């Protein structure tokens, strides 16, 4: 039975109980998108109301605004202010469908994807699955630390921090108290720098009020970076200024150091240094994640998919990759484009335009990335900005960072919530979301329990 895709309602009779995921019948080309991050949603926006059927798959039913994960982790924002339901996002898009499922396998020979809920046939497949934390094979570090690539990671960091601070107020063991109140952040990129700055402000302004039992000086924050500069993808001016801001906030920055082991209490570096800490946050690297089924010879460094300049995965004629998972390897970009939101958004918009032309057998131009600049913040009124030839830092960089991020959040309500929280924090340094909603258990404890 054919279902006219212009109809807003889909009757139950259109669905059959089979191994296939129920979708309305259509004579239009079906574009399946896996992943609703910045790239996936940008593509959806370009294909809405067009002569294609778009099916968006994601293991979550919401989009996550990753640049503000660190603010959820440090109690500045609630998680629901930086997530937005996909179904609300696509409401009114008659040719766009969302299905909550985790894609487990791609079968290119039959143009089929296999999910944990059933299978779906595609005419064109777009992988926008993003990245996950890369612990570089260090199992102990992975078991005892936390990454920051998911909203749940941010909540885990918040609960770990608050539980450990509460336990520090209980214990009479000085060594144990030191371990509970010491924080180690690994990785000096934007995520690590912003996390360190937010933790330092928590220590300076919140700790003395909430925990008068011990001095705020007991909370030490370490930022470990494997090379000799912070924010290596930005200018030297941005790196130098960021280091000054962190030192002003009493963050201990360790250059040319890398973590070699962590047992949950002691961080060991390759040079032999040890740091007593029960809080380790890993922002030192990412790796691509995508379903099995793509030939490994098309996977390059960082577990990314090698594509041509039209974002088509090497070796396939109807499978594309966009966002952090895509590595557009050319003479100009031997390592691919930077894995940042603006790259993902530009690629999603570009692919939306050329897919429609490819379907009509029209000629297309290759993707060209336009770098709009970089921003990073180190707490209130402290930020750095690289905007082409203009490189500046301080209050105006922070104001620009705030405006750009606020306008980028999905949903008017979410922008309002974040803006209100920022306004309150600006005048009071108050972080009102210091709630332990559920007990946090380290992965190592959960694994031991299963055994």
- Active-site residues, by number, are 194
User: And the tokens for 219?
Assistant: 């909370």
Phi-psi region of 376 (alpha: psi -120 to 50; beta: other; left: phi over 0): beta
The Cα 408–Cα 239 span in angstroms is 25
Residue 317 phi, psi dihedral angles, 5° rounding: -110, 0
User: And the tokens for 212?
Assistant: 């008068």
Measured from the Cβ of residue 91, the count of other Cβ atoms closer than 10 Å reads 9
Token pair 């060594």 is found at: 175
The Cα 24–Cα 22 span in angstroms is 7
Contacts of 5-12 with CB under 8 Å at 24 or more apart are: 5/53, 5/94, 5/95, 6/94, 8/94
Q: Do strands 374-377 and 383-387 pair parallel, antiparallel, or not at all (unpaired)?
A: antiparallel
Q: What count of Cα atoms within 13 Å lies in the side-chain half-sphere of residue 65?
A: 23
Instruction: Find the angle CA(80)-CA(85)-CA(91) to the nearest 5 degrees.
Output: 145
Give the gyration radius of the chain's Cα atoms: 23
Please, what is the angle between helix 236-248 and helix 190-201, to 10°? 20
The Cα 267–Cα 292 span in angstroms is 34
Cβ pair 75, 158 in contact under 8 A: yes
> Which of 60, 223, 86, 88 shows the shortest CA–CA distance to 151?
60
Point out which residues pair with 83 in neighbouring strands: 64
3-state secondary structure of 422: helix
Instruction: Find the angle CA(25)-CA(26)-CA(32) to the nearest 5 degrees.
Output: 95
The Cα 393–Cα 389 span in angstroms is 13
The Cα 393–Cα 66 span in angstroms is 23
Task: Please name the helix (run of DSSP H) or strand (run of DSSP E) that holds residue 342, with its range, or none.
Answer: helix 341-359
Point out which residues pair with 85 in neighbouring strands: 62
Point out which residues pair with 8 in neighbouring strands: none
């Amino acid at each position: 039975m054919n279902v006219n895709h212009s109809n807003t309602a889909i009757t139950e009779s259109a669905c059959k109980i089979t191994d296939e995921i129920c979708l309305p019948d259509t004579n239009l080309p079906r574009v399946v998108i896996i992943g609703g991050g910045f790239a996936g949603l940008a593509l959806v926006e370009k294909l809405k109301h067009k002569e294609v059927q778009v099916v968006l798959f994601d293991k979550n039913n919401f989009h996550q605004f990753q640049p503000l994960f660190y603010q959820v982790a440090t109690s500045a924002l609630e998680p629901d202010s930086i997530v937005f339901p996909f179904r609300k996002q696509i409401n009114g898009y008659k040719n766009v469908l969302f299905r909550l499922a985790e894609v487990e396998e791609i079968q290119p020979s039959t143009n089929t994807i296999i999910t944990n809920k059933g299978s779906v046939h595609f005419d064109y497949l777009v992988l926008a699955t993003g990245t996950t934390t890369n612990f570089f094979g260090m199992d102990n570090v992975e078991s005892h630390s936390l990454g920051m690539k998911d909203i749940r990671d941010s909540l885990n960091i918040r609960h770990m921090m608050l539980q450990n601070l509460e336990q520090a107020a209980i214990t009479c063991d000085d060594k144990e108290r030191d371990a509970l109140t010491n924080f180690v952040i690994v990785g000096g990129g934007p995520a690590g720098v912003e996390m360190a700055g937010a933790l330092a402000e928590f220590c300076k302004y919140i700790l003395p009020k909430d925990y008068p039992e011990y001095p705020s000086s007991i909370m030490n924050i370490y930022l470990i970076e494997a090379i000799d500069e912070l924010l290596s993808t930005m200018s030297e001016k941005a790196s130098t200024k960021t280091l000054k801001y962190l030192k002003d906030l009493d963050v201990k920055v360790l250059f040319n150091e890398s973590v070699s082991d962590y047992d949950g209490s002691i961080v060991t570096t390759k040079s032999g240094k040890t740091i007593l800490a029960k809080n380790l946050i890993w922002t030192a690297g990412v790796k691509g994640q995508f379903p099995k089924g793509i030939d490994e010879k098309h996977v390059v460094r960082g577990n990314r998919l090698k594509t041509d300049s039209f974002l088509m995965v090497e070796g396939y004629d109807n499978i594309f990759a966009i966002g952090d998972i895509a590595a557009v390897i050319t003479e100009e970009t031997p390592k691919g484009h930077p894995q940042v939101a603006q790259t993902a958004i530009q690629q999603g918009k570009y692919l939306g335009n050329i897919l429609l032309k490819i379907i009509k057998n029209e000629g297309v131009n290759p993707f060209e990335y336009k770098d709009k600049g970089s921003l990073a913040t180190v707490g209130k009124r402290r930020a750095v900005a690289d905007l082409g030839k203009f490189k500046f830092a301080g209050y105006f960089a922070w104001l620009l960072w705030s405006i750009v991020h606020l306008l980028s959040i999905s949903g008017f309500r979410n922008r309002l919530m974040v803006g209100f929280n920022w306004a309150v924090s600006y005048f009071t340094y108050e972080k009102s979301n210091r709630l332990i909603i559920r007990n946090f258990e380290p992965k190592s404890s959960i694994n031991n329990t299963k055994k």
